[in-house]
A and B are shown apart, each in its own frame.
Chain A
Amino acid sequence: MNLATYIAMDFWRNFRNAGNTFFIVVLPAILFLFFGVNMDNTDLAVGHGNVSAWIMIGMATYGAITATTALAGSAAVEIQQGWGRQLALTALPHGGFVLAKTLIALGMAVLPVAVLNVLALVTTAQMPPLTWLASAALTLLGSVPFALYGLAVGLLFRSDAAVGAASGVVVVLAFFGNAFNPMAGVLLDIGRFTPMYGPVALARYPLMEGEIVGTSGPVGTDPLWGILLNVVAWSVVFALACLLLQRRRTARQ
């Protein structure tokens, strides 16, 4: 048995799915080049680096979260549409599928993080080296709970179209999560409670240490526990949704 071959081939299948790859890698890269490089304010200093780095981290988080959402969602759909039965006729052990899909989803999530960090490095972003590394690692980490979000949607609707829509919703969540444009006032008050706010703030923590910037300077500070609470709370919500949906699915069989 050669699980590595299976993983490589399934990764390639997902990678060449142009719709997915565009939203996961190309779109955030273009957005970063457009808004994060050589605009008026991108070399202004924020936290331990500059605005360009701040924007890059938001875009990378958006790409990574789109990846875990889309991949986990399509895995759920695949299993339910009969591919799971086909795999059950092989020597693939229980859990082998989960391991394969986890590695593939992480691989896809690494792509935007790597591409955007390299783009940022060779253009105008500035951060201390350790801050770069910590921020990239936290970007990946923060994208993991969204695998549960994708999984829940896949279990609920059992169609690739629904999973596509769920990835589309990530754009909206990214706005409210402060990934694209610095929020202030009421929007920020609402945004704090939305599921992408935590992962974005966590990825920016090495750079900002919780400081929130608006378009005209600092507008407040998030304590680390608040950021973590957001991540954990939404992880629990998504996990509960998956459990309930899974139970419903089993009961129906």
Chain B
Amino acid sequence: MNMISTDRNAAPVIEVREVSRGFPDGDGGWITAVDRVTLGFQSGEVTALLGPNGAGKTTLIDMLLGLSAPESGTIVVAGTAPRTAVREGRIGALLQTGGLLPDLTVKETVRMIAALYRDHAPVEEVMETAGLTDFAARRVGKCSGGQQQRLKFALALLPRPAIIVLDEPTTGMDVTARHEFWERMRAQAETGTTVIFATHYLEEAEQFARRTVLMHRGRVIADGPTAEVQRKAGAANVTVTWSPTEDDLAALPRIASAERRGGQITFRTEDADALARHLLTATTAHSIAVRPASLEEAFMLLTDGVRADGQDGADGVAAPVAPAERPATTEGASR
């Protein structure tokens, strides 16, 4: 278990092939939460599953854990069916919300769940690793959100899993707790554990994952080294005071869109540095402000790009839609 596999040609420890899954949206319609996703995860790899709410992350994770079954497609975890892998303790997970009994103490919770594994790490050891010893006797209902997440992390470690899946693990944590959590996770990953975590924070992917899978509306829209994906998703809004001519505008590098408001003009770009350099050196624009685009905006940009390339959009499934027009999030529906 302590081996770090660096063999890229080895069979993936998780194989997701052409997997789809949808839900009724409550209005008689149907939401395709995960849409023909194909992914492989290598042993020892740390991957971020990045996407806004409703991207299908939780639905995909539920299927990796055998909590729900794909409508079509196959998933193989550690060479077997997800449910079997879970039962054999090869995959552990930290689920998103709920999932704890408020009237148990922290230690009782770990002991109770430990009793349900055929073979588990010592309770004390797991509590030490997850940092629970300071509040072991506290009722779960009285723990902070961050403490509850740490408890769930401990539960995920109990079966000594070779694969750990974390669904938005830092929800409810303040900055310090978040930092500390990722330190613990990093230590865990260094033992060779395969880690897959869902997040909608670009920074978490950037700081922790070597690989990032970008999901949007049920589709994988980018997959690769985090830095590369980050550059793609790293859109920004650049605002300047300027009154350009059409020719001025045509000369601007890397512009996705422009919007005039009074004397100000806001550009959306995927390369803020290049645009800012050009604006300040080659034009009369001044009073520049650069604001990183939200992930949601970045996704709009990316999906626009996908459609413009002609690779998609024919079936309309992944066509960009303004966030407000979207039906209830698929992640809500999966709970």
The verdict on A91 contacting B117 (CB below 8 Å), with A6-B112, A253-B23 known, is yes
With a cutoff of 8 Å between Cβ atoms, the chain B residues found around residue A17 in the complex are 103
Tell me the smallest distance from the CB of A142 to a CB of chain B, in Å: 29
Tell me the smallest distance from the CB of B237 to a CB of chain A, in Å: 38
With a cutoff of 8 Å between Cβ atoms, the chain B residues found around residue A252 in the complex are 24, 26
A78→B104 CA distance, assembly (Å): 13
The verdict on A251 contacting B24 (CB below 8 Å), with A6-B115, A9-B115, A91-B89 known, is yes
A207→B213 CA distance, assembly (Å): 71
Q: Which of B86, B112, B333 contacts A9 (CB 8 A)?
A: B112
Interface pair B98/A3, CB less than 8 Å apart: no
Task: Answer yes or no: B92 CB below 8 A from chain A CBs.
Answer: yes
The verdict on A13 contacting B104 (CB below 8 Å), with A89-B86, A251-B24, A252-B24 known, is yes
With a cutoff of 8 Å between Cβ atoms, the chain A residues found around residue B100 in the complex are 82-83, 86
Interface pair A86/B95, CB less than 8 Å apart: yes
Task: Answer yes or no: B81 CB below 8 A from chain A CBs.
Answer: no
Most chain A CB atoms below 10 A, which of B86, B99, B118: B99
Interface pair A90/B117, CB less than 8 Å apart: yes
With a cutoff of 8 Å between Cβ atoms, the chain A residues found around residue B87 in the complex are 90-91, 93
Task: Answer yes or no: A122 CB below 8 A from chain B CBs.
Answer: no
With a cutoff of 8 Å between Cβ atoms, the chain A residues found around residue B190 in the complex are none
With a cutoff of 8 Å between Cβ atoms, the chain A residues found around residue B88 in the complex are 91
Task: Answer yes or no: B19 CB below 8 A from chain A CBs.
Answer: no
Task: Answer yes or no: A215 CB below 8 A from chain B CBs.
Answer: no
A81→B335 CA distance, assembly (Å): 9
A95→B116 CA distance, assembly (Å): 13
The verdict on A85 contacting B115 (CB below 8 Å), with A9-B108, A13-B104, A78-B101 known, is no
Q: How many residues of B contact A (CB 8 A)?
A: 34
The verdict on A90 contacting B97 (CB below 8 Å), with A9-B108, A252-B24 known, is no
Interface pair B99/A82, CB less than 8 Å apart: yes
With a cutoff of 8 Å between Cβ atoms, the chain A residues found around residue B108 in the complex are 9, 13
Minimal Cβ-Cβ distance residue in B for A91:
B87
Total of A-B residue pairs, C-beta within 8 Å: 81
Residue-wise, chain A 88-99 has the 8 Å CB interface mask toward B (1 for contact) of 111111001000
Task: Answer yes or no: B155 CB below 8 A from chain A CBs.
Answer: yes
Minimal Cβ-Cβ distance residue in A for B333:
A253
Interface pair A92/B86, CB less than 8 Å apart: no
Tell me the smallest distance from the CB of B281 to a CB of chain A, in Å: 55
Task: Answer yes or no: B307 CB below 8 A from chain A CBs.
Answer: no
Tell me the smallest distance from the CB of B46 to a CB of chain A, in Å: 20
A10→B104 CA distance, assembly (Å): 9
Task: Answer yes or no: A216 CB below 8 A from chain B CBs.
Answer: no
A13→B103 CA distance, assembly (Å): 7
With a cutoff of 8 Å between Cβ atoms, the chain A residues found around residue B17 in the complex are none
Q: Which of A81, A91, A253 contacts B98 (CB 8 A)?
A: A81
Interface pair B155/A5, CB less than 8 Å apart: no
With a cutoff of 8 Å between Cβ atoms, the chain A residues found around residue B99 in the complex are 81-83, 85-86
A binding-site residues for B, Cβ under 8 Å: 1-3, 5-6, 9-10, 13, 17, 78, 81-83, 85-93, 96, 251-253
B binding-site residues for A, Cβ under 8 Å: 23-24, 26, 65-67, 86-89, 92-93, 95, 97-101, 103-104, 108, 111-113, 115-118, 155-156, 159, 333-335
Contacts A/B (CB < 8 Å), 20 sampled? A9-B108, A10-B112, A13-B104, A13-B108, A78-B101, A82-B97, A83-B99, A85-B99, A86-B95, A86-B113, A89-B65, A89-B155, A90-B87, A90-B116, A90-B117, A91-B88, A91-B89, A91-B116, A251-B24, A253-B23
The 7 lowest CB-CB distance pairs between A and B, nearest first, are A82-B98, A90-B116, A82-B99, A5-B115, A86-B99, A6-B115, A2-B115
